[in-house]
Structure 1
Amino acid sequence: MEKDNGKNNKIPFDEDNYTHNIHKENERLLDRRGFMKTMVGAAGVFAISTLPWGGLAAKELMGFHTKSYAKKKIVDIASLSIGESAEFSYPSEHESALLIRLGENEYKAYQNACTHLKCPVFWNREEEKMVCPCHHGYFDAKTGKPTAGPPRRPLPEIAVVVENGAVIATGVKRYET
């Protein structure tokens, strides 16, 4: 008998029952290495499939794409006194907005959904501030920037012009940081 010197290179069981059974009857078509290759491939396909959407978002955020908005009459100048406000819908009928007459020829319009949690914003004539009653947020009427409360971003401003004795909405200004 051979001396094994503490090293036994013999297989303790018959090879057919111990090492080669993983290939019998398609028992393991997908092992760990195959699974990882599949997952990396799926992640790559997912990453590549999101590139068109990322390109569209970058185009919008960088200002390479400008939206055009239809003009809409908000109110006649004669029906709105200095310090008063008028609610209207713009750019669509489902988006509420607020026009404020701050001076003789000074008009400001904003989308009136608070930038914190989209609660409606109201004009407080006495305090000359725009107020979000949900969490006591306040916005400056001249700039739309938050002055108090949880909101951190200004309200989206709507561009307005005065034509033929009426205030007309012409578009939504891009968000500036």
Structure 2
Amino acid sequence: MEENKREIPAEDDNYTHNIQKSNERSLDRRGFLKTMVGAAGAFAVATIPWGTMAAKEMLSGGKKEYAGKKIVDVAAIKPGEAVEFAYPTEHEGALLIRVGENEYKAYQNACTHLKCPVFWSKEESELLCPCHHGKFDVKTGSPLAGPPRRPLPEIQLEIKNGAIYAMGVKPYEA
């Protein structure tokens, strides 16, 4: 059997005969840095619209205008009962609770922990989140137990002509 003998290339080749020297470094440090600065610039320009919207939101003080919406007639809800409704949009759930004879409270019913739905427990007189056993006070919306740390967003109510209307959402105060 004949051994496969390899020839050693000439000394001037220095074992680099397989590298195309004309295109050895198509992306050197300077080219890489130019690419990275260009990408960062493109990213900065792409985020300008979102930054303007965020700045506009922050400068407005969190005050949004919401259209009033009739929830229910006063006679249709008894003390201790709750009514589900959608507010401020058709895709956001809310709860109206008649706490006392002439006392009503309404909150958005998405838990402030992970947005699970919050339910009214008439027996316990508490707002409950079944996902992580969160509890909220019905008078303030503040968390009583579980992982939630922020109160439920409160919906401003108005009673006129024997009906209860949702008029807006109170901004969150830290």
Shorter-chain TM band: 0.7 to 0.9
Other-structure match for 1:112: 109
Q: Is the 8 A contact 1:101 1:107 kept in 2?
A: yes
| TM-score of the two chains, using structure 1 as the length reference | 0.80
1:125 aligns with 2:125: no
Q: What's the Cα RMSD here?
A: 2.2
Pair 61,105 (structure 1): closer, same or farther in 2 beyond 3 Å: farther
Picking from 145, 149, 153, the partner of 1:148 is 145
- SS in structure 2 at match of 1:104: coil
What's the offset of the Cα at 1:62?
4.2
Task: Indicate the percent of aligned positions where both proteins have the same amino acid.
Answer: 66
Counterparts of residues 37-116 of structure 1 (less than 5 Å): 37-64=34-61, 66-116=63-113
Please point out which of 149, 155, 159 is paired with 1:158.
Answer: 155
Does the CA-based 8 Å contact 1:59-1:65 persist in structure 2?
no
SS of the residue corresponding to residue 54 of structure 1 reads helix
Length-normalised TM-score, structure 2:
0.81
1:31 maps onto 2:34 in alignment: no
Q: CA deviation at 1:90?
A: 1.0
Counterpart amino acid of 1:161? E
Shift of 1:133: 1.2
Residue ranges of structure 1 left out of the alignment (5+ in a row): 1-11
C-alpha contact (below 8 Å) 1:130/1:139 kept by paired residues = yes
- Counting matched residue pairs gives 160
- For residues 59-104 of structure 1, what are the alpha-carbon distances to aligned partners after superposition, in whole Å with 9 as ceiling and x for unaligned? 2234346432221110111111122111111112221110011123
1:9-54 CA-partner distances (Å, limit 9, x unpaired): xxx959xx99xx74x3x55443232112211221122123313312
Distance 1:150 1:78, change over 3 A: same
Question: Structure 1 residue runs of 4+, over 4 Å off?
Answer: none
SS at match of 1:81: coil
